Structure 1
Amino acid sequence: MAAVSVGIFGGAFDPPHVGHVELARVGTERFELDRLLVRVVEDPGHKEVSTSPQIRLFLAELAFAPLDEAEISLDPFPRTVDSLEALALDDPVFLLGADEFAALSSWKDPERVLALARLGVATRPGFARSRLDEVLAGLERPDRVTFFEIEPLPVSSSEIRSRVAQGQPIDGLVPPAVRAEIDRLELYRRVDRPEDGGMLRGEPTEGTTPT
């Protein structure tokens, strides 16, 4: 029986957008993955989140639904290396973007990450390859890194949250099902608070929790 090829794609997904889905889709094809574990990090160690893990999981399930290989679940570990240790998979491919790879030296135990998983790094036209080569040159196992190109999609979760807070449309930036739930649950809207000048609404109103 042929070995099952497993990929991992993790993130805060606050919210998941079309760039996330495209990276997952192309990465799945490029590495001929049988399974893609989409891991929604409960409490990211490197960034703040605006919504609960359950809501981000719900949105991720909607966003990645078109990918038959995708299996969405919560990841209780803030750091990638700890998550990989717990999963204990047989040489999986960890998918990530070029920006994340460029910051690899700031990760917890990056060499151990490379021992536990190969890295599939999505690049895009216009991204400075010299930044990636510099990181690659500092690794003990650069052979564990494979670059693949994806269509450039200028979108970020922070931009989407900002647009929603300002009442601007996000059509085309997130999958339609995700946009519909952001509207229905009133996520990322700015509510007035005199003491802090306003904040993002990151939880649904009473009676509108996802099912």
Structure 2
Amino acid sequence: MSVGIFGGAFDPPHAGHVELARRGIEHFALDRLLVRVVEHPGHKPVATAPETRLRLARLAFASLPGAEIELDPFARTVDSLEALALIDPVFLVGADEFAALPTWKEPDRVLDLARLGVATRPGIDDRRVEAVLTTLARPERVSFFPIEPLPVSSSEIRARAAAGEPIDAFVPPEVAREISRLGLYRPVETGGAGGMLGRDG
């Protein structure tokens, strides 16, 4: 059985996340995809509680075949992979995250524990990707697959929600409805969710 892993803060999960996961499932013929919502990311602050981000992720990825969405208590990828102890899984990342691989905790150990499936899109600097490959002990453990460019980020969605602007074009409909229902990402003075401080890739 082929297993993939896709982790992140998902604050909130958006259309780009879903497209990356969908294409990863198709490209690597994955039977299961473990979507891991990182409870306390080590590399970025988060605006919402882990349980809320888990709820949003379950709504976002519900339509993907074989997707299993759970919280990840580990802030670092290598620690999460060690705990999962899967047989040669594919860890899905975007090309931007891959470019930061040398800053991850024990990147060569990550490649011992999992293959990397790197999503590429037009506009990514190939020189940055090639430079990372030259630093790895096992570059053959890295595979690339194309995705359609979707110019969207979680930070932009949070900013739009905070300004009261529509976000329907950037997140799955169920996610947009839940963000509106919960009043997420609105300024604190208007009764929105309180901040909560937050992983390498």
Report the 3-state secondary structure (helix = DSSP H, G, I; strand = E; otherwise coil) of the residue aligned with 1:126: coil
Among 39, 42, 48, which residue is 2:39 paired with? 42
**Residue 193 of structure 2 is aligned to residue 202 of structure 1:** yes
Report the residue type matching 1:94 in the other structure. F
> CA contact under 8 A between 1:50 and 1:201: conserved in structure 2?
no
Q: Is 1:145 the counterpart of 2:136 in the alignment?
A: no
Letter matched to residue 155 of structure 1: V
2:165 corresponds in structure 1 to: 168
Aligned partner of 2:28 in structure 1 is 31
Extract unaligned runs of 5+ from structure 2: 195-201
Give the partner amino acid of 1:37.
Answer: L
How big is each residue's C-alpha offset from its partner over 1:163-197, in whole Å with a ceiling of 9 and x where there is no partner? 111111111100000000000000000133xxxxx
The answer for the alignment partner of 1:207 in structure 2 is none
- Structure-2 separation of matches of 1:202 and 1:20: 23
1:176 alignment partner AA: P
The higher radius of gyration belongs to 1
Aligned-pair Cα RMSD in Å: 1.2
Aligned partner of residue 187 in structure 2, secondary structure: strand
After superposition, the C-alpha distances for 1:130-173 in whole angstroms (9 at most, x for unaligned) are: 11000001111000000111000000000000011111111110
When the two structures are aligned, how many residues end up with a matched partner? 194
Q: How many angstroms does 1:201 deviate by?
A: 3.2
Q: Which residue matches 2:3?
A: 6
Percent identity, aligned pairs only, is 71
Secondary structure at the counterpart of residue 63 of structure 1 = helix
Point out which structure has higher relative CO (alpha carbons under 8 A, 6+ apart): 2
Q: What TM-score results when the alignment is normalised by the length of structure 2?
A: 0.94
Q: Extract unaligned runs of 5+ from structure 1.
A: 193-197, 204-211
Is the counterpart of residue 136 in structure 1 residue 133 in structure 2? yes
Q: TM-score, normalised by structure 1?
A: 0.90
